[in-house]
């Protein structure tokens, strides 16, 4: 007797595509193919794809902002919207607050998430200030407890780390077996360009893109990879927007470095021209790195097809356009410099990749699964419990109907934002049914979730474990 049998779907994993039934019991996958008759519930998936639930390994929820600004998705609304878009696990960030124990801050995030999440969640740690205590004790202990990835920033005054601090953080990651994610943009070059633009009175949202050109991303990507080579650690280069930064990843791999590349829907679908809209409307498209041009979009598609990118995430970082707290559209607008950097995309990530990628023949369905789920689980220590359709894996599944056609409107996405950058986009294919650990949480496109999401302590990334276990190489 099964809890659920999913009948006759086209099962796709990162390696195989086949038609079979799947039997679920006690939240797990217990049978694939073969005879299955009795179940409390039957789901007919004829003509549909049955895929591992999406894993979005780069989202921002309830992250504190400078005074007067508020992120508009909390763990409830953000994970609700994630579920609508076919995701069953999301990985938000816990931002270290200077002068406070990281574990204390982390406990606050857990309190905000507890009992409110529609998907499973697992935190990355953003490192904004290094101390001997943090590097010597706190981080290694947190890694042991399943927080196995750190993000560092090369941009944003007050958040960025200097190169020596990045080296020390990488060294800590090496010693503790964590994986470092790097935001690559050269802060000093950006500040120089912002100063010049402001002096010239060029302060509209479009200037956000021109003050963060591809070359500041390329330089920082090169530097991050060089620093990683000094310490001999694998790294993730997050939110890559253009060919020049991609070339840095390729070159690092040619020298033998382990590097994971990530890109996001905004770099496939938007351009810098979107920031050049009247009445401050361009503020809706401000994110960092900024969207580039059509050639960069093509480069990013090529990277997804050919493997420069292993991971495709949303970088969901939502602010409301018309809202006192959003400050995307503040009264007395002064400079693009004050527009918070980030756009929503947690629900649209997978429909965009499915429609523009799979349905238009740019990638096959197995590559879709790898980019949207399996590689995230493998990179961040959740595999094979997550990101796979195998016996014993969590029954996190999304059933995609390739026949559904939709015109995207923000209200359907159920996030806390007041717009989507993809308003009016026509998509083909939609995740009509989603299961989280064996429970139907989206049924015929409708949310029926009871907020069963739990926190996932993660294993070390296999990439980092290899270095961690290799004690023959001295640490710096
Ligand atoms: N980096 C992110 O990863 N997300 C939003 C803003 C940023 O700079
Ligand atoms: Zn970033
Ligand atoms: Zn981000
Ligand atoms: Zn809405």
Phi/psi for 132 (5° steps) reads -55, -35
pLDDT one-digit tens code per residue, 161-208: 999 999 999 999 999 999 999 999 999 999 999 999 999 999 999 999
Average pLDDT, the chain: 96
Residue 22 has pLDDT above 70, yes or no: yes
Residue 388 is predicted with a pLDDT of: 98
* 390, 374 contact by CB (below 8 A): no
Q: In a 10 Å sphere around its CB, with 0-12 CB exposed, 13-18 middle and 19+ buried, how is residue 22 labelled?
A: buried
Residue 453 has pLDDT above 80, yes or no: yes
Give the span between the Cα atoms of 323 and 442, in whole angstroms. Answer: 30
pLDDT one-digit tens code per residue, 131-173: 999 999 999 999 999 999 999 999 999 999 999 999 999 999 9
Residue 467 is predicted with a pLDDT of: 67
- First and final CA of the chain: distance in angstroms? 57
Residue among 317, 318, 417, 421 whose CB has most ligand 1 atoms within 8 A, to mutate: 317
Query: What would the two tokens of residue 338 be?
Result: 């004050």
Give the span between the Cα atoms of 106 and 90, in whole angstroms. Answer: 16
The string over 412-448, giving b where at least 16 C-beta atoms fall within 10 Å of a residue's C-beta and e elsewhere, is: ebbbbbbbbbbeebebbbbbbbbbbbbbbbbeeeeee
Atom of ligand 1 nearest to the CA of 341: 6
Question: What's the mean pLDDT in 328-347?
Answer: 91
Residue 222 is predicted with a pLDDT of: 98
Distance 159 CA to ligand 4 centre (A): 30
Query: Rounded to two decimals, what is the model's pTM?
Result: 0.97
Residue 470 is predicted with a pLDDT of: 62
Distance 409 CA to ligand 4 centre (A): 9
- 317 pocket-lining for ligand 1 (C-beta < 6 Å): yes
Question: What's the mean pLDDT in 26-48?
Answer: 97
- 124 pocket-lining for ligand 1 (C-beta < 6 Å): no
Residue 473 is predicted with a pLDDT of: 54
* 415, 62 contact by CB (below 8 A): no
Tell me the β-bridge partners of 12: 17
Distance 60 CA to ligand 3 centre (A): 6
* 60, 81 contact by CB (below 8 A): no
Residue 110 has pLDDT above 50, yes or no: yes
Atom of ligand 1 nearest to the CA of 151: 3
Question: What's the mean pLDDT in 313-324?
Answer: 94
CA of 182, nearest ligand number: 2
Residue 135 is predicted with a pLDDT of: 98
Give the span between the Cα atoms of 335 and 194, in whole angstroms. Answer: 10
Residue 399 is predicted with a pLDDT of: 99
Query: What is the set of domains in the chain, with CATH numbers?
Result: 1-476 (3.20.20.140)
- 341 pocket-lining for ligand 1 (C-beta < 6 Å): yes
Residue 332 banded pLDDT, cuts 50, 70, 90: confident
Distance 35 CA to ligand 1 centre (A): 48
Question: What's the mean pLDDT in 103-130?
Answer: 98
Q: Which protein residue has the closest C-alpha to ligand 1 atom 7?
A: 288
Residue 476 banded pLDDT, cuts 50, 70, 90: very low
Predicted complex ipTM: 0.90
Q: Which protein residue has the closest C-alpha to ligand 1 atom 3?
A: 315
Query: What would the two tokens of residue 199 be?
Result: 């002096």
pLDDT one-digit tens code per residue, 356-388: 999 999 999 999 999 999 999 999 999 999 999
Residue 405 banded pLDDT, cuts 50, 70, 90: very high
247: number of Cβ within 10 Å: 15
Residue 328 is predicted with a pLDDT of: 87
Residue 239 has pLDDT above 70, yes or no: yes
Q: What angle do CA 231, 236, 239 make, to 5 degrees?
A: 140
Residue 197: strand, helix, or coil: helix
Q: Which protein residue has the closest C-alpha to ligand 1 atom 8?
A: 288
Residue 329 has pLDDT above 90, yes or no: no
- 239 pocket-lining for ligand 1 (C-beta < 6 Å): yes
């Amino acid at each position: 007797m099964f809890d659920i049998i999913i009948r006759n779907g086209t099962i796709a994993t990162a390696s195989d595509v086949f038609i079979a039934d799947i039997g679920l019991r006690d939240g797990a996958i217990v049978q694939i193919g073969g005879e299955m008759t009795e179940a409390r519930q039957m789901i007919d998936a004829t003509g549909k794809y049955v895929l591992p639930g999406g894993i979005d390994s780069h989202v921002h929820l309830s992250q504190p902002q400078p005074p007067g600004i508020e992120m508009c998705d909390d763990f409830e609304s953000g994970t609700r919207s994630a579920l609508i878009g076919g995701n069953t696990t999301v990985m938000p960030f816990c931002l270290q607050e200077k002068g406070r124990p990281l574990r204390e801050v982390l406990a606050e995030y857990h309190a905000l998430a507890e009992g409110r999440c529609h998907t499973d969640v697992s935190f990355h740690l953003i490192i904004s200030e290094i101390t001997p205590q943090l590097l010597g004790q706190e981080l290694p202990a947190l890694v042991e407890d399943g927080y196995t990835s750190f993000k560092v920033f090369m941009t944003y005054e007050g958040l960025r780390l200097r190169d020596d601090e990045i080296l020390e953080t990488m060294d800590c990651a090496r010693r503790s077996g964590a994986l470092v994610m790097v935001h690559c943009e050269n802060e000093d070059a950006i500040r120089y360009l912002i100063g010049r633009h402001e002096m010239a009175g060029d302060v509209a949202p479009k200037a956000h893109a021109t003050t963060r050109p591809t070359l500041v991303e390329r330089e920082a990507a090169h530097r991050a990879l060089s620093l990683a080579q000094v310490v001999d650690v694998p790294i993730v280069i997050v939110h890559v927007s253009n060919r020049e930064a991609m070339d840095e990843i390729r070159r690092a791999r040619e020298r033998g470095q382990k590097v994971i590349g990530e890109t996001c829907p905004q770099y496939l679908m938007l351009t810098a021209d979107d920031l050049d809209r009247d009445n401050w409307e361009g503020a809706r498209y401000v994110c960092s790195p900024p969207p580039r041009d059509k050639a960069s979009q093509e480069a990013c598609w090529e990277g997804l097809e050919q493997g420069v990118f292993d991971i495709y995430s949303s970088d969901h970082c939502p602010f409301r356009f018309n809202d006192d707290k959003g400050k995307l559209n503040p009264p007395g607008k002064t400079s693009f410099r004050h527009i918070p950097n980030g756009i929503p995309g947690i629900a649209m990530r997978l429909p965009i990749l499915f429609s523009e990628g799979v349905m238009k023949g740019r990638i096959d369905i197995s590559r879709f699964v790898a980019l949207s789920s399996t590689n995230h689980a493998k990179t961040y220590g959740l595999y094979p419990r997550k990101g796979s359709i195998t016996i014993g894996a969590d029954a996190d599944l999304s059933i995609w109907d390739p026949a559904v056609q939709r015109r995207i409107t923000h209200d359907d996405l159920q996030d806390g934002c007041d717009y989507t950058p993809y308003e009016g986009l026509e998509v083909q294919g939609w995740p009509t049914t989603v299961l989280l650990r064996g429970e139907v949480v989206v049924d015929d496109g409708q949310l029926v979730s009871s907020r069963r999401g739990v926190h996932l302590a993660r294993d070390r990334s296999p990439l980092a474990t290899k270095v961690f276990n290799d004690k023959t190489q001295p640490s710096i």
